[in-house]
Each structure stands twice: as structure tokens, then as C-alpha cells.
Amino acid sequence: MNQNEDLKKIEQKAFRATYQDGLYDICYGIFLLAWAVVPVVRDAGISMFLAALPFLAIPAVLLLAGKKYITAPRLGSARYGKERLSRGTKMFGFGVVSLAITYALIVIVSVWGVRISGFNGPGGMTVPLIESLAIFVGVSVLAYFSEFKRLYIYAVFFAGGIPLAEILYSQVGTPADELIAFGIPAVGIIIVGVVFLVSFLKNNPLPEREVANGI
């Protein structure tokens, strides 16, 4: 290992410290929970937008407030170098492209009725599998650029839930299919996040004012 790799490891260790608090896990969990709960609420006659709103707003508020009031006072904060910023820009760019490709594929498959050896049609798996693959690739790339390793596992939950819901549909109907396919992994992810958060709070008590003040 050369010295540049050592320095890279120091930077990575410092950056990855930001995931110790479990807040990202909780936010991804809540976001996945939306996929389980929104169909239930939608079936009750409430607009999907209104139903989905809390699941977008709560993670955003939790992340912003949590980082500011829980993480930063305990772990401190840092400004990262240009390479890290450029990684963030690449991640954003890929996210936009990935989203566009996903929607384009879904439109192509559903509107023009692309058939894959009779695997499509009502209850077919073509659209779910394409959605699943696109989501898996998108979330994995997000995990790669953000260096959030647990997100690779969550990518499997996000992506796997789509075909699983399709399979469960014929067994349990809707909205139980989505509740099971997305709800169970979502709760699991939230529990992992809470465990990390509790451990973070236990291991990193709030420093005294004198310590925060430094020298």
C-alpha cells in the first residue's frame, strides 16, 4: 500500500463516520415504508400525493435536524476536499440519468407492449423485473458514490420488493402484497437504523462546552 492509498483511507474513514448515527438507515427505511403504506391509504380514497408526502417530509426533516442537533455536536463536522464534492456531483448526475432511463423503459414496456416470451401481460413480470433492475442499479450506484455500504443490502430490499409484490398479488391480493413485500424490509431497515442511533448516542456523549471550544 502506498502513501496515497493511506491518505485515501484516512479520508474515507473520516467520511464514513457520518453513517455511524443510523439516520440514513432510518430515512431509507421510512422511504421504503411509503411503498408499503401508500397503496393502503390510496385504496382508502386519499390522494397518493398526500399519502406519500409524510414519507418524503419526515426523512428530510429527520436527516437535516438529526445531523444538526444529534450528530454534529457529538461527532464534529468537516468540509471535504474537491474530489469528494465531485463524487457528489457525479452521484447526482447519475441519479437523474438513472431515473430518466427507468421511466423511459417503463413507458416503452407498458405503452408499446414489449413482450419477452409471454412473460408480460396482466400479472406478467416484465415491467416489475425492469423496474426492479433499474432500481437495484440506481440504488447500488448511490451506495457506491456515497460509500454507504449497508445501502447495497437495502438496494436488494428496494429492488426485490417489486417482483415479490407481483408474486404475492396472486396469493394475498392488494394492498397486502405491497405491505408484506415492502413493509417487512422497511421495518427491518428502520430497526437497524435505530440500533445504530442508540449505539451512536451511547458511544458519543455530548462533549463539554470547553471541549467543543478546543484550545
Q: Which residues bind another protein (CB under 8 A)?
A: 2-3, 6-8, 10-11, 13-14, 17, 72-81, 204, 207, 209-215
**CA dist., res. 27 & res. 31, Å (int):** 6
Nearer to another protein, 11 or 147 (CB): 11
Shortest Å distance, C-beta 84 to another protein = 9
Q: How many CB atoms lie within 10 A of CB 198?
A: 11
Nearer to another protein, 3 or 171 (CB): 3
**CA dist., res. 49 & res. 135, Å (int):** 21
Max Cα–Cα distance, the chain, nearest Å: 71
The conformation of residue 70, written as its DSSP 8-state character, comes to: I
Shortest Å distance, C-beta 20 to another protein = 10
**CA dist., res. 131 & res. 126, Å (int):** 9
Who contacts 176 (Cβ-Cβ below 8 Å, separation ≥6)?
Answer: 168
State the Cα angle at 110 between 43 and 183, rounded to 5°. Answer: 40
Nearer to another protein, 13 or 202 (CB): 13
**CA dist., res. 64 & res. 56, Å (int):** 13
Shortest Å distance, C-beta 82 to another protein = 8
Shortest Å distance, C-beta 81 to another protein = 6
Nearer to another protein, 80 or 119 (CB): 80
Nearer to another protein, 45 or 205 (CB): 205
Shortest Å distance, C-beta 210 to another protein = 8
